[in-house]
Structure 1
Amino acid sequence: MKERLPNIRVRTNHGSMVARDGIVICFFMHRSHGEVIHAVWRALQTYRRSIPSQALNWYVDQNGDFQPLDDKGWEHIRKKMLERRWPVACGVDIEEHCDEVGGYNFEYQGYWLDAPLFMYEEGTTCAVSFTLPTEYLVEHGPARVRALALELARELPFSFGYASLALVSSDGDWFMARDTVRELRDRYLGLDIYRLGETSQHIGTQARGAYWLTFLGLPLLGRLGGLEVLRRRLPFPDVSLETLPPLEGERVLVTLGEWPEAIDTAEQERPSPQRLAFAHLLEPFLHEERSGWFSLFGDDKEDMRRWIRRFCP
């Protein structure tokens, strides 16, 4: 399957690269920042151990400027994440490059959900993402990427999470080349387009879609009927279901095949039956993007809705 992985570099008219192909591993946790942040910090250390030592080099400070991620920078990140005072939100953005998008990026959006309700929208959720370049997947193989996603998941009290081929872009900078991105979106059905900070403000405990790796936690797993219902509704040889310790009855990983799929419609590729069946199962619980970032594709909420439900019959 690796020969079908796309090689994508999206550049502006001035030549700056604002998006590229990669893998995103993302988790949404419907708990307060204080409840999840130590687990998120441990997951970040797991991610650091799994990638090249110089893969993360810059962080974004409170003014939106890039600062070098040296020892002083890491201490700043540690204090910001672990010592953030109630009720101030915590946003962390760590990147490989400061002048263009790289394959290795970490982002965290943390909120004190026990703060006064007027501070956040209904459905606001702490969220974290980790990215890898596609070259990492090709070099180490899908089993290694899946093992990393599992190791990250074990640390996190997620309600929903996923790993997918994606259009990797720092804070959604792909909007500067949105016409190209729209073409890629429509060509590659398996290519995730995400903006963590926006989706985390309203996804709550809903799902975002059916992915190569999909992590289901409570209460979403219960709404789907639990593990036995998943086994009955997804009776495909290429689908594996795995419970995650220590809460084995409360968290499940659904894997659709050995490799992530781009689903290139230009090559007449079609979504697999297992992905369509899984998407149908998830459809009643898919969220609706409410903020304006996706409207950059045409200011059309129905267009956005169709994309989120592109695998639903």
Structure 2
Amino acid sequence: MHYPNLVHRDWRGGVHASDALVMNFYMQHPHGRLATAAIRALELFRERIRPHALTRLNIGEGQDEPLDDATWTRIRKRTLEPEPNQSAFIEMVDDYRRFAGFCANYRGLGTIPVPWPFRKDDVSVLYFRMPTGFLVERGPKYIHALALELAAALPFNSGYADFVLCSSRHELEKALSLICPRYPGMHVAWDHGNIHHINTWVDGVHWMNFLGQPVLGKLGGLAGLREHLDLPGISLHEMSGERVLITLGDAPETGDLEAGHSLPLHRALARILEPHLFLSKSMLGKPGPEALTRWERRFLD
């Protein structure tokens, strides 16, 4: 599988968008419920990307620091022993100077729902990012197994793994020109972290689509999915705790409208998920950029 090399630079040469591999898990649970599973997933990710390493740590206190064994032991202990209603933020990267490199980012909310009306849709999120070269180096079977392993203990409402375009927010519309309209399989993800105000909506249609409650129940559970997605190339994997993984094909696909590859499996899943798909908006509930909203509906319009 060939993946396009996509980069957007500003007039000074700074990178503001690049292709990458991303795994995102959205959880409507507070940090106190997620701490053990989140730490396990973070440690598993560090182990599975070796010999690559996450070398810098940011815990939201204004400055990053080197990530070594002693530092991780301290952060691990603090994360696993939260005070009542305590939130958590952990970001680990290989190099902050590298755009869309290796990254693991966890934000666990202290309480859900958050007690401010404009943040009523906020959820806890676990985000993993790898450069495209890692996908090519290890292959889609390894990535598929890794995503399943990371998701195993997470009480997710939804999540995904896919080849995406990572973009900074203030260069978004220029970044979209790299993929729109040619590559319909490419989702737009933010360069650091991700959306948080997603409630139980589903963040797009992807190669690997993780579904939990309540959306899975609204779709009729695994039986309902089998009835509507009985198509060659779509696989359904039942997970414990009323969770399902829907995989479209053997590897991430960008599609290519210039070559007539319009991704019919993605369109089939989008039609089923349409009432539950997330459309970008600000924290205050205002619609997102029009160009991004149109791109988010590309499998529906």
How high is the TM-score relative to the length of structure 1?
A: 0.86
Task: Report whether the alignment pairs 1:15 with 2:7.
Answer: no
Gaps of 5+ in 2: none
Decide which moves more: 106-115 or 210-219: 106-115
Q: 1:20 to 1:79 in 2, by over 3 A?
A: farther
Backbone CA RMSD of aligned residues: 2.6
Aligned residues of 1:11 and 1:177 also touching (Cα < 8 A) = no
Deviation, 1:119, is 7.6
Distance (Å, rounded) in 1 between the aligned partners of 2:42 and 2:26: 15
- Identify the residue that residue 210 of structure 1 maps to in structure 2: 205
2:233 aligned residue (233, 238, 241) = 238
Distance (Å, rounded) in 2 between the aligned partners of 1:292 and 1:118: 11
Task: Report whether the alignment pairs 1:69 with 2:60.
Answer: no
> Matched residue of 1:73: which SS?
helix
Distance (Å, rounded) in 2 between the aligned partners of 1:237 and 1:148: 24
> Matched residue of 1:46: which SS?
helix
Q: 1:9 to 1:197 in 2, by over 3 A?
A: closer
> Matched residue of 2:226: which SS?
helix
Deviation, 1:45, is 1.3
Identity of aligned residues (%): 36
- Identify the residue that residue 164 of structure 2 maps to in structure 1: 166
Task: Report whether the alignment pairs 1:228 with 2:220.
Answer: no
Deviation, 1:232, is 1.3
Matches within 5 A, 1:224-303: 224-245=219-240, 247=241, 250-265=242-257, 267-291=258-282, 301-303=289-291
Q: 1:302 to 1:180 in 2, by over 3 A?
A: closer
Q: Deviations over 1:236-276 (max 9, x none)?
A: 1100001113x3xx1111010011111233x3443322211
Aligned residues of 2:23 and 2:161 also touching (Cα < 8 A) = yes
Equivalent residue letter for 1:193: V
Q: 1:179 to 1:287 in 2, by over 3 A?
A: closer
Deviation, 1:88, is 4.2
Gaps of 5+ in 1: none
Equivalent residue letter for 1:274: L
Distance (Å, rounded) in 2 between the aligned partners of 1:272 and 1:54: 33
> Matched residue of 2:188: which SS?
coil
Equivalent residue letter for 1:158: F
How high is the TM-score relative to the length of structure 2?
A: 0.89
Aligned residues of 1:26 and 1:129 also touching (Cα < 8 A) = yes
Q: 1:268 to 1:24 in 2, by over 3 A?
A: same
Distance (Å, rounded) in 2 between the aligned partners of 1:115 and 1:237: 40
Q: 1:306 to 1:261 in 2, by over 3 A?
A: same
- Identify the residue that residue 296 of structure 2 maps to in structure 1: 308
Deviation, 1:66, is 2.9
Distance (Å, rounded) in 1 between the aligned partners of 2:78 and 2:92: 13
Distance (Å, rounded) in 2 between the aligned partners of 1:9 and 1:198: 19
Matches within 5 A, 1:46-61: 46-61=44-59
